[in-house]
Every structure is written in structure tokens, then in C-alpha cells.
Structure 1
Amino acid sequence: MFEGTGRKLGRAAVAVICAASLATPSVASATEPEGPAPSSAETSEELNAQAQKHAVKAIEHFKNGAFVDSEEEWRRVAFFAPRWRPLHFNLGVLAEAQGKLGTAVSEYKEFRPHGSPDEQMVVDQRLDELGRRKTNIAGAYKRQIALSATAMTLGVGAIGGAVAMFILGPKQTEKAKEWDAAAETVVQMGNNCPQPDVGSQCYNEYAEHAAGLREESDKFERRGKLMLYGGIYVVIVGLLLTTYSIIPLRNAIKSKRQLDGINLGKTRLKWNGGAGVTLRF
């Protein structure tokens, strides 16, 4: 009794999902073997009453774009009818729609030996596209990691340099004060000359020496201010670079999740109506 119904549901499910899978922009990909090897166990078109109810719900959820809910129902079908022939193809498409790469490839490979020639052609097309997309995602992942690491290194280095400037700047100011104090001492010594007049040789010598000391003091003072203000600008640049490094790192994490086949959840799916869906990662 249920065998005919199971066969009809299987054909309907595969037909619906085949059409949608070719129209759905997937983000999954794979070329290397992932997950368990395809099963050689015999399949069946038989679908019992309990599994049939969940299969109907799964197809309805799929038509409504509720891929996560649809997958949950197919998992219930798998519990009640684990050898139902279209099962793994349906799970593969749903996994692909959610960005679960490893799961999608494993399910497609599980289904392929039991599919018709037309169905096997669809599976081969999906695996080929997934392979090319995996290459692109892997390349993007490497570039994002490199960019994030570079920005993070430069940012942390800039912050470290700014800290050094904040430490050295006040030391330069202290040295400027020391040179100023030395210049004042020399001026006092000039005032102790026998003839502390501007035109006297003794006074002029001390005055010239004091002027040289003040010149050195001004150099240290300027250097200290330069380090202080420069440190402020450098730390700002460092913070900006460090903050920016989070962006490619976040994108790299998303790419890694795609490569690893992690399900990102319902909130990542945006249904556009019909057979179109936007996957937001």
C-alpha cells in the first residue's frame, strides 16, 4: 500500500528539489572525498505511514523556503525509512542550500549509486559545481587570513611603537629640562665674572656656552613633543589597522565554516520567493 505512495513522493521530492537545486545559488563546494564512503546497501521505494507524513511536511517546508525545517523532517523520514531511495538526494540539496559542504557532498555520493541515469547526471553536475566553488572559497579563505594577519601585525606593531614613543617622549622632555638647568648654571657663572657686562670676554664666553646648552635643550623639547604627538597618531593608525583586521578575519571564519560544512542556522537564509534563495554568510 505504502510502496506506491513512497514511489510517488520520492519522484515528487526529487523532481521538485532537482529543479530548485539548479535554480538555487548555492555556496557549498567540494572536490575531495568528505564524510563516509557511499553505501552499497540496497534501497527501497517503500515508505511507511509515519515516514510518509514527515515526507509530506518536508516537501511543504521546502516549497516555502524553510530549508532547516525541511531537513529536520527528512531526518525524521530517515529514522522511519532509512533505505528510502530519494532520501539522501533530498538531504544533499538541503545541506547545500544551507552551506553545509561536507554533508552535501556525502549525501550526493550516498545517493548516486541508487539514482537513475538522469538523476546521476544532476548529481554529477552538482558535485562538479561544488568542486569549483570549493576552490574559490578556499582561495578566498587563504587571502582573507593573509590580509587579516598582515593588518593585525601592522596594527599591533604600530601600537607597540606608539607605546615606546610615549615612554621615550617624556624622557626627552626631562633631558631638555636638564639642559635648561645646565644653561642657567652657566649664566650664573657668567654673572660671577669680574666684569659681568655684555661686552666682557668672560661674560660673552659663558653666554655663548649657555646659548649652546639652550639650543640642545630646545632639540630635546621638540623631540619629546614630536614623540608625544606622533605616538598619538601612530596609536590611532594601529587601532584602525587592528580593528580592520577583524573584517577579513570574520570573512575567513565564514569561509572556513563553508569549507567545514557548518550549519549557520535559519537566520542566515533569506527566501526570495519561487525557487530562489539568498544565503547570507
Structure 2
Amino acid sequence: MGTLVSAKGIAEGVENSNYLVDATGGRFILTLYEKRVDEADLPFFLALLDHLAESGNPVPRALRDTHGRQIQRVAGRPACLIEFLPGVWPTQPTPVQARAAGGALGRMHVALQSFEGERPNSLGPAGWHALANRCGAQLDAIAPGLRTRVTGELAWLDAHWPSALPRSVVHADLFPDNVLMLGERVTGLIDFYFSCTELRAWDLAVMHAAWCFSGDGRQFDTALGDALIAGYDAEHPLLPEERAAFPALARGACLRFLLTRAWDWLNTPADALVTRKDPLAFLRRLDHYAAL
């Protein structure tokens, strides 16, 4: 890739350590994988990105060295040099941007029909139970009665989870900050390190919960929600049974992020550089979908 010109740490992100690298051969992202990413999963993630890139999706591939290797070791950690994609993530998405992002997810799902890799979802229904048990009574330190509410929601989802829907490899974390855009055009889908095999429509439900509310979860934007689903449906039509199950899928998405945020809230040291995210923002989203 040429001679190193500069390397600068990137503050965003909580899973890995990232650097913006400029070299005489171009601009790249250097990612050092920290303990929350299992090194044994890296071949799956890299094969997934290669497959999507070859299918014309705007994803960042890990570059190969002169021996054909993608995974290196830097400072004792597995590391990859990754393509740099232009664009910025939409901090306040418009309906036009939401439609474009939904369309990008739909095209990704079309491409994944021919991807043969598989990876279990450790943050699916079984994982929610395990995480709730680990948080235990401490949930009530976040908000009074939260443990009871989570227990009740788990029971409801166990009884109503639409497990017979079509499955696929999914992104599972396509928040606005994982979508790069230039104006109204999607230029990058990034951060695939939660990707797994799951109910395909759950991916859209995760995106819906992430994109269509105010940051605190108090306000739902119907125009954003309609645009997101319309964009997806134009590229990968939703099945009638997926539409019918969408509220349940969205409730599952909200519970997943409520619980992972709660765990981090309870276990992140006060002096850590990582900013804790409010679990209750997803409890409020959950209330919205439960009322449908």
C-alpha cells in the first residue's frame, strides 16, 4: 500500500481500536480487534464483506498483503487494514435518506441469498435471557421495576417469537452511525461485527428501532419509518408473514439493545473513556411497539 504518511486514532466506536491511515498508496482504516470480537469469527466476517463487495454492495473489504493474507497481528492483537469509504453518517436522517438506507439493506439481503457462511446469534432470544439473568436485580438500579418489565417482555417474546420466518445472515446493528452517506446516497455500510444468522426481517426491525425515534426514544417519526420500509420493500419485498410479525420483531430488537446497554451501564467504570448509552431509550421504543 506504499509508505506510511500518517496514522491518527479514531475516537468513535466501542468494540475495536481504529486508526485513519494515510499512505502513498491511498487512505485506509487500520482496525485492531479487541476482546469483544472473537478472533475465530474474523474469517466469517471477512468472507461476508468480500462476498458483499463482489456483489456490488458498498462495504469495506479487508485488504490482502503480498502473501494474500487479510488478518495480521499488531501490538499483540489481530488486525486488518481496511478500505476507506467516503461519506458521513446521518445524525438527523431525513425520509429520503431513510429510504436510501432501507434500499441498501434490501440490496444487501438480495446479495446474501447466495452467501453460504453461518454464524450463531449470541444476542438472540436465548442470549436475552442469559443477559437478563446476569444483570439480575441490578436492573432496578437503572429504573424501578425494570427487572419485572424485562421478565414480562421475555415471557411475551417467548410466546410470540415468529421463529418460522425466513432466515439469512444479517447485519444486526445497522444504526445510522453504521451507514455512510454523501447527501442522499449511501456510500458505505460498515461495522459488521455483530453479523450472524437470524430471522431476515429482524435486521429491518433493528434498523427501524434505531432510525425512527428521537435519541431518547420518546418521539417516533412516522415519515422515517414509512420511508425506511418502502426503501427496503422496493429492493427486497417483505413477505406478508414478515409484515404481520414486524411488531414482535421490533420488540425483540428493542429488548436486545435495552439489555446490552443495561449491562454496559452497570459494568462500565465511571472513569472509562467509553460513553455509556441510556438503556431506557430502548425501553421507551419497546413501549411504542408493544402498543401497536
Shorter chain as denominator, the TM-score bin is: under 0.3
CA radius of gyration, larger in: 1
Scaled by the length of structure 1, what TM-score is found? Answer: 0.22
Greater share of helix: 1
The structure in which a higher percent of residues are strand is 2
Q: TM-score, normalised by structure 2?
A: 0.22
Task: Report 1 or 2 for greater relative contact order, CA contacts < 8 Å, sequence distance ≥ 6.
Answer: 1
